[in-house]
Structure 1
Amino acid sequence: MGGAGVRLRAVLGVRSAGPRGTWPEREPDADALLRGFRTRFGVPPAGVWHAPGRLAVMGEHTAAGGGAGLYVALPWGVTAAVGPAPDPGVHVAAPGGPLRPRERAARAVARTVAEARRTGVLGADAGVRVVLDADLPEHASLGYTAAVGAAVALALADLGGGPPPEGATADERVCLAARPGCAVRVNLRSMRTTVLPFDLAGEGLRLVVVDTGALPRRDLRVVRAAELERAQQVLGPLRSVQDLPGSLRRLPDPVLRRRVEYAVTEVHRLNAAVGLLRAGRSGETGPILSASHLSLRRFGLPTREAELAVETASRAGARGVRMSGWAGTVLALAAEERVEGIGAALTTEFGAMGWVPPRVRAAVPSAGAHRLR
């Protein structure tokens, strides 16, 4: 969708949802969490752990086709004070008070505790207390839930004297395996991870994270997975497709042809990007990111806000730009000196549409989950 099309929608009265929730400005304070835990539960925690958010660089939409994803850890994440409970319960709180069991972070902690019990890391009747804080937004496709799970999983493994956890999901594996100046490739079928050099700081580059706040009306992950599954019933596993034009001719549904075209070609783009990373040429991945975004249109994903962000960042000097994840977040690869100008251009263009300006942060690939106290 071009800029003119985006503006036409605005004239017709279609408005951006704007950022959902907040992007916390304050970094979690480990010592404050220690004190907060003691105040709430009357005893100190066993320790404090941190896990980063994660940014999907490319490939994340190919899971249903057995593809691979390339990710980095972010400098923002979730910090958790964790300790045993005197009962079998799972007690989760934030600095502002206890979390309801249905809240996102509380559900993530409960799933992690259940997995620890299943694998024997935690006794069947052992309870857990958690107080957590974050400087990562919950609804921006930046791995908030995975960061909660990774922080608690590492805490339980440390306290139980077991080996470091691998992670129950691809996102958690990224949070746990990441290293500074590196990307993590995840085989989305086997969940095997590979750490690759991605030293953007050394090349004077940044990943510009643009949170447009434009959430889709419904979660498209299940819909796209079902579409790829229907295609695979005809073609077999997409990872085995060799003759793409011939395979597309076997699909009578034009929607399925578009979905398969994206899923198969994205694997090749990701492999090309991995080759550049292995060769120490991270700065040359920009055109691949932009090509990935163009192909994502065949997958029916980018929102109009994401499209405007991509076009604006490209015009402002980014080396490559694409939508990341499923919630309207955009990433741009840019020289450090271009970051401020990209942010200003985004504010101007979104303001011209009458939309809430996106939230813009610059990042470099950061450390994975670790113990702080």
Structure 2
Amino acid sequence: MSELIDDTQAGFERRYSYAPSGIWSSPGRVNLIGEHTDYNEGFVLPFAIDRRTFAALALRDDDVVRVSSAASDEIVSMKLADVSAGASAMEGVGDAGRWAAYPLGVVWALGQLGADLAGLPGFDVHVDSDVPIGAGLSSSAAIEGALATALNEVWRLGFDGAQLVDVCHRAENDFVGAPTGILDQSASLLSQEGAALFLDCRDGSSSTVDLRLEESDLAILVIDTKVAHEHASGDYAARREACETAARELGVRALRDVTWPQLLAARDRLDGVVYRRARHIVTENQRVLDTVEVLRNEGPTGIGDLMFASHRSMRDDFEISTPELDLAVEIALNYGALGARMTGGGFGGSVIALTPVPMITHVQVAIDGAFAEHGYGGPEMFLVWPSQGARRDR
């Protein structure tokens, strides 16, 4: 990571012609199990990965905010008062600067949750990252977490981790316009090295679950299919709407409150699509609870079947998989992985495969061959390890 930290500092100095006061970072995440359960007030089990977004930042002596990225030549600049206006602040920003909605949304959300933006200095910030964009590894939450952590320190706001999760969640929902739950931001901000984060999305409470991958000679292989996905798209919103419809027709606050017998009893009075969406959420919540129990009692070698059951449910009931994702899961399981599933919001992105270390190359070669045979573009494959959440690096 030291090279990327140096690159982030150098990028700041090239764009702004002076040195930053510090560098902060926040990781991407893999969701081990528990997909689309977060906005249904259910359970999730993500972990932060050892790929991070870095933010080099320095305060200014005026009220101007400037944001830049290693991925773009454009510097987006506006006054704090304009950011306070909300999502309309992005109306004059060109396509190349649309990514700036994520850091600017954090500034806006800090103001919504108590920071007096009118009384605070502006800042310059430059971000760099090795979290793949559009791969389902939450590159957006990594940006949000890095900036929220930096501003919380330099503006001396005193927000705790749970409050920063709320800040980043509001930024993504209400400023960017992506109707996600709190999974991504919680994992990026709160995770501990070597462990997954068992999160109750109703009350925000969490606990760590040791993954013990190395002692079991296992690794998590990420297979990025290069089919990009977009959380702000209509497909994601449609799934959330179907879940809300099911909860309303079942007379509960959220699908978290529905048991399997209750759902079965209501099958004939729910629309078929709505029923399948609800079936995924109800069964996925139980799979998260079962996975936590197995990890704590038996270790990671026992969760493979739960991972595949989760993928099958996302493929058949929630209908958010793609042919590329399904192929990656099938080949990984056929060539040695103990478990595999798509991870993230769906409609593209990545598969994770729980793989014995001696079988990693075998799985990678098989997937490369299968993708070529089907005429798909070559996937990117890499290992990830459970890592620390947001922090200051320099």
TM-score grouping bracket, smaller chain normalisation: 0.7 to 0.9
Provide the residue aligned with 1:7 in structure 2.
none
Is 1:279 the counterpart of 2:297? The answer is yes
**Equivalent of 2:206 in 193, 197, 205:** 193
Q: Aligned with 2:142: secondary structure? A: helix
Asked whether the equivalents of residues 33 and 131 of structure 1 are also in contact (C-alpha less than 8 Å), the reply is: yes
The verdict on how the C-alpha distance between 1:284 and 1:219 changes in structure 2, with shifts beyond 3 A counting, is farther
Aligned AA for 2:112?
R
Provide the residue aligned with 1:68 in structure 2.
43
Provide the residue aligned with 1:98 in structure 2.
74
Alignment of 1:66-215 (within 5 A): 66-95=41-70, 97-100=73-76, 101=93, 103-121=97-115, 123-124=117-118, 125-161=120-156, 162-166=158-162, 167-168=165-166, 169=169, 170=182, 171-215=184-228
Aligned AA for 1:239?
R
Asked whether the equivalents of residues 42 and 285 of structure 2 are also in contact (C-alpha less than 8 Å), the reply is: yes
Provide the residue aligned with 1:302 in structure 2.
321
For these two proteins, the number of residue pairs brought into alignment is 348
Deviations 1:251-309 (A, max 9, x none): 34211121111110111111000112233512211111011111112111111111111
Provide the residue aligned with 2:382 in structure 1.
361
User: Following TM superposition, by how much is the alpha carbon of 1:54 offset from its aligned partner in structure 2, in angstroms?
Assistant: 0.7
Asked whether the equivalents of residues 158 and 164 of structure 1 are also in contact (C-alpha less than 8 Å), the reply is: no
Provide the residue aligned with 1:22 in structure 2.
none
User: Following TM superposition, by how much is the alpha carbon of 1:89 offset from its aligned partner in structure 2, in angstroms?
Assistant: 2.5
Structure 1 unpaired stretches of 5+: 1-25
Q: Distance in 1 between matches of 2:327 and 2:370?
A: 8
Provide the residue aligned with 1:319 in structure 2.
338
After TM superposition, where is structure 1 displaced by more than 6 Å over at least 4 residues in a row? none
Aligned AA for 1:151?
A
Provide the residue aligned with 2:177 in structure 1.
none
Q: Aligned with 1:151: secondary structure? A: helix
Q: Aligned with 1:318: secondary structure? A: coil
Identical counterparts, % of pairs: 30
Asked whether the equivalents of residues 145 and 185 of structure 2 are also in contact (C-alpha less than 8 Å), the reply is: yes
Provide the residue aligned with 2:355 in structure 1.
334
Provide the residue aligned with 2:89 in structure 1.
none
TM-score of the aligned structures, taking structure 1 as reference length: 0.87
**Equivalent of 1:261 in 274, 279, 298:** 279
User: Following TM superposition, by how much is the alpha carbon of 1:250 offset from its aligned partner in structure 2, in angstroms?
Assistant: 4.3
Deviations 1:116-175 (A, max 9, x none): 233345642421211111111111111101001101111111223324443233212211
Deviations 1:226-262 (A, max 9, x none): 1111111211232222324543434342111211111
Provide the residue aligned with 1:33 in structure 2.
8
User: Following TM superposition, by how much is the alpha carbon of 1:357 offset from its aligned partner in structure 2, in angstroms?
Assistant: 1.5
Structure 2 unpaired stretches of 5+: 77-92, 170-181
Aligned AA for 1:79?
F
